[in-house]
Amino acid sequence: MISTCHVSGQELSRYRDREGSSAQLAELDEHVAGCERCKLRLADAASLSRLFSDQFQQIEQELPRDFAASVMSRVRAAQPRRSWLESLVALLPPRRELTFGMIGLAVAASLAIVFAPSLRSQDDRLLETTENEAQIHSIEVTSPDRSAVVFDSAEGNTVIWMVPSEGDGGGGQTVPSEP
Amino acid sequence: MTARPSDASPAGGPDARTSGPEAGDERDRQLVARVLGGEREAFRELVERHQTRVFGLAKSLLRNHADAADIAQEAFVRAYGNLGRYRAEGSFTAWIAKITNNLSIDFLRRQKTQASAELTDNLIEPDEGHAGTLASQLVADPQTATLRRELGAELENGLRRLPAKHRSILILREIDGLSYQELSEALEIPIGTVMSRLFHARVKMQEMLREYLEGSQSAAPGKPKL
């Protein structure tokens, strides 16, 4: 009965497409069986689908006959793009020809890829150290409670730094570097 | 093809889905794997399985045979070139439909011809007082074949007047039989939007066809009243 039907057009559209849970569809199956309004709406939707089917047949006839051949002629001039991993795998020879040397090469390349950034950053830090800081030549123990550290300062002087083993603040003495 | 509660199961392509969407999708996946494995000619079968729906979508959106053929061809070439990006868990039908839809929309934007004759994008409510009109006319009219041809032509006109987004979803659902999930993938919209957009597209199309029927009956008094 029309007066008792609360099914929205959107719900019915989804029902017609058999989208939704099986419980929802079963509930609507039961409702539609006794609802003239929904039957009419579904009949209209079915008519629309029939018209689209007719339309589809017409389009099928309009498809250029050599369509697939035209596509393939263009495709032959192109290559499908692969991911870098697929490309790498494609470069490898068949398994039986894979030698230990090639495996080693692959491992070395992988290690280089993985560790190169960290090595590069260590190099960077090392460069910063040698440019901005003094370079230590030696550490000499001069007494049980003091050590002497000899190094070149950034200004080019040789510095002897007395370092206390404990408690003492220590002190430095600058000596001109030898030519 | 998705099962439907009533008749009028739409056409679903020459062969891509004749044995059900799952079997068709599995065949597509096999073909894609073969192409990526270096068997380029396997792509021909993919083209033949999907060419009608791809051309049909392009034709419905672009309204021009030559442009549609060009766009459909370009869609397949793009698909081939990007086959490595295709995710096998998705439907190839939805994937190629997305490429075709996007190419067609881009083409229309470049041509700037889209807005001229389109209906507004406003949502409309169905005229419940006329429920059943379309079905009863197609059944009751003694010249149903003639009427269906007329309505088929009117359907074409109606599609031209629909906004592109409504045109796309109608074609993909009614002709290509895409599921809501596939529509969501192809059009890149949530499932909820699929439901509402499809509903409103159908309502607009039905209203246009009803208007046509009313107009043709007032012009031909011998025909039964709606």
**Alpha carbon separation from A11 to B78, B176, B191 (Å, rounded):** 37, 21, 13
Q: Is residue A14 part of a domain?
A: yes
Domain boundary among A62, A88, A104: A62
Q: What is the CATH number of the domain that holds B92?
A: 1.10.1740.10
Q: What is the CATH number of the domain that holds B133?
A: 1.10.10.10
Show which of residues 132-171 on chain B sit within 8 Å of chain A, judged by CB atoms.
Answer: 132-136, 138, 148-149, 151-152, 155-156, 170-171
Domain edge (last residue) among A62, A78, A99:
A62
Nearest by CB: B73 against A58, A71, A79:
A71
Spatial separation of the C-alpha atoms in residues B73 and B174, rounded to whole Å = 22
Considering the domain boundaries, does residue A56 fall inside one? yes
Given a contact cutoff of 8 angstroms between Cβ atoms, the answer to whether B148 and A54 are in contact is yes
Q: Considering only CB atoms, which chain A residues are within 8 Å of B133? A: 44
Q: What is the pLDDT of residue A51?
A: 85
**Is residue B46 in some structural domain?**
yes
* B51-81 tens-digit pLDDT: 998 998 898 888 889 999 999 999 999 999 9
Q: Looking at the domain assignment, is residue B160 inside a domain? A: yes
Pick the last residue of a domain from A15, A46, A62. A62
Domains of chain B: total: 2
Does B97 lie in the same domain as B40? yes
- Closest residue by Cα to residue B121 from B78, B166, B85: B166
Residue B182 inside a domain? The answer is yes
Judgement on whether residues B106 and B137 belong to the same structural domain of the protein: no
Of B78, B76, B85, B81, nearest in space to B45 by CA? B76
Residue B8 lies in a domain: no
In a domain, A146, yes or no: yes
The H or E element containing residue A150 is: strand A146-152
Task: Quote the pLDDT of residue B202.
Answer: 92
Spatial contact of B206 and B134, defined as CB atoms under 8 Å apart: yes
CA separation for the pair A15, A13 (Å, rounded): 5
Domain span at B197: 128-219
DSSP label of B172: I
Is there a domain that residue B148 lies in? yes
Per-residue pLDDT at B74:
96
Assigned domain for B2 exists: no
Region of B13 (left: φ > 0; alpha: ψ -120 to 50; beta: rest) is: left
- Cα gap B112→B186, rounded to integer Å: 23
Q: Which B residues 45-84 touch A at CB under 8 Å?
A: 47-48, 51-52, 55-56, 59-60, 65, 69, 72-73, 76-77, 80-84
B213 lies in the same domain as B132: yes
pLDDT value of residue A111 = 75
Range of the domain at A136: 132-175
Q: Which amino acid is at B47?
A: V
Structure tokens, B61: 């959106």
* Domains held by chain A: number: 2
- d(C-alpha B223, C-alpha B92), whole Å: 46
pLDDT of residue B169: 93
Q: Among B79, B111, B143, which residue terminates a domain?
A: B111
Question: What pLDDT was estimated at residue A177?
Answer: 47
Domain-embedded: residue B72: yes
Residues B103 and B132 in one domain: no
* For B64, nearest residue in chain A (alpha carbons): A62
> B120 vs A40, B59, B125, B166, CA distance in Å?
27, 21, 14, 11
Low-confidence ranges of chain A (pLDDT < 70): 1-3, 56, 79-104, 114-179
Best mutation target, B138, B166, B208, B211, to test chain A (most A CBs within 10 A)? B138
Alpha carbon separation from B160 to B18, B68, B105, B117 (Å, rounded): 29, 14, 14, 8
Helix (H, G, I), strand (E, B) or coil at A146: strand
B222 DSSP assignment: T
| Cβ-Cβ contacts under 8 Å, A14 against chain B | 180, 195, 199
How is the beta sheet containing A171-175 ordered, strand by strand?
A: A135-143, A146-152, A158-164, A171-175
The span from the CA of B201 to the CA of B195, in Å, is 10
ipTM, 2 dp = 0.71
**Alpha helices (H) along A63-160:** 67-76, 84-91, 100-132
Residue A70 in any domain: the answer is no
Q: List chain B pLDDT tens, one digit each, 226 residues.
A: 333 333 333 333 344 554 555 667 889 999 999 999 989 999 999 999 999 989 988 988 888 899 999 999 999 999 999 998 887 778 899 999 999 999 998 898 887 654 444 544 554 555 556 666 666 666 555 556 777 777 778 888 888 888 888 988 998 998 888 999 999 999 999 999 999 999 999 999 988 888 888 776 666 554 433 3
